[in-house]
Amino acid sequence: MAELRLDPITREWVNIATERGKRPSDFHHREEARLVRTRDHSRCPFCPGNEKMTGQDLLRYGTDRDWSLRVVRNKFPAFSGSGEAARTRYGLYESMPAVGAHEVIIETPYHNKSLSRLPVAQVKLVIQAYRERYLALQKNARLKYILIFRNHGKVAGASIEHAHSQIIATPVIPQVARARIEGLQRYDAERHACAYCDMIEQELDAGERLVVQNSSFVALAPYAARYPFETWILPKERNAQFVSVTELQMSDLAAILKETLLRLDLCLGDPPYNFMLLTTDFSDQFHWHIEIIPRLSIAAGFELGTAIYLNTVAPEQAATFLRAVNFPKQTAH
């Protein structure tokens, strides 16, 4: 099992997962190591026919042999097991076992389909699977935080080409998650409002950073975007918890997520990206949303040292480019 270790100064946790451990020589041929693991679909663990490579399904839409989506355990879990997350002291240090869960949502049986190119109905299945697995993991009281995320492209950390998202449940609340709540509380204390709600109102009014909207959601380039073409998707109606989404909202989310990813895809030539679905169990003071981060720039020494990001594309400019994307109507649905 992996181990969580606490930095005694920053109080940030790290996960030391040596089961994935590597020797120095593994790092010598870095360029090749970053190639996507398989081009031979017959050996892709996420393709139909290879189900035995991934172990028991945690969730499946469809039948054993004719499925449209599956959720399985990650073969190299960063968090696993259901024991107690007891802390151990070692001089000035602290550690705990990295108990939790690490699951993979196989978004489609088709090897070559990326999320932006799937039909909206299939994207909605993906969102439904997020919700079902979130609710299942939420039942384990020892798990304190759940992150749904997606890595697309090798530069964004995807090691398998076949379209998939991931869910990780951790026994600790990440400091950044607490910091976001504190930021919202500070804003609320000053202005008696939700900062995300105010942001949506101001952005809909200004329009310059707006990418696209529908009746339930808005996609925008955030004012203080850290990365070129960073794009957020927020529900217009405030709710701390993603799992509160209604059937209708899931349809709207599927439509805007697909359209936003497709605009990024067409505008930037299928860029590598990560997205994170940020939600919370531990506070009502949140406004769940999705942050999409295209990986077009490199965080170098200045960013690592200061966490002040250098962004070479103004969000207003990025939004203008994304709004201007022309795509055949049939690719949108």
CB of 66 vs a second copy, minimal distance in Å:
30
Q: List C-alpha distances in Å: 175 to 54, 182, 199, 247.
A: 32, 10, 23, 32
Least Å distance, CB 52 to a second copy, is 26
- The answer to whether 164 is a known catalytic residue is yes
If the CB atoms of residues 27 and 139 are measured against a second copy, the closer one turns out to be 27
Give Cα separations from 170 to 55, 97, 275, 292 (angstroms). Answer: 22, 10, 18, 22
Q: Which of 152, 164, 287, 289 is catalytic?
A: 164
Name the token pair of 253: 């989310």
Instruction: Decide if 89 contacts 80 (C-beta within 8 A).
Output: no
Instruction: Output the smallest distance, CB 209 to a second copy, in A.
Output: 10
- Give yes or no for a contact between 54 and 103, defined as CB atoms under 8 angstroms apart: no
By beta-carbon proximity to a second copy, the closer residue of 145 and 217 is 145
d(CA 308, CA 98): 30
CB of 174 vs a second copy, minimal distance in Å: 4
**DSSP three-state, residue 273:** strand
Determine the Cα angle at 227 with ends 238 and 177, to 5°. Answer: 45
Contact 232, 217 (CB under 8 A): no
Q: How many CA atoms lie within 13 A of 92 on its CB side?
A: 5
**Taking the complex as a whole, how short is the minimal distance between the CB of residue 69 and a second copy, in angstroms?**
19
- Closer residue to a second copy, CB minimum distance, 123 or 251: 123
Nearer to a second copy, 48 or 272 (CB): 272
Distance CA 326, CA 235 (A): 25
Helix (H) or strand (E) holding 148: strand 145-152
Q: How far is the CB of 325 from a second copy (least distance, A)?
A: 9
Say which residue the tokens 């008696």 belong to: 192
What is the Cα–Cα distance from 83 to 4, expressed in whole angstroms? 14
Compute the distance between CA of residue 99 and CA of residue 92 in angstroms, rounded to an integer.
22
b/e burial code for range 55-93 (CB count within 10 A of at least 16 → b): eebbebbeeeeebbbbbbbbeebbbbeeeebeeeeeeee
Q: Which is nearer to a second copy, 137 or 156 (CB)?
A: 156
- The residues annotated as belonging to the active site are 164
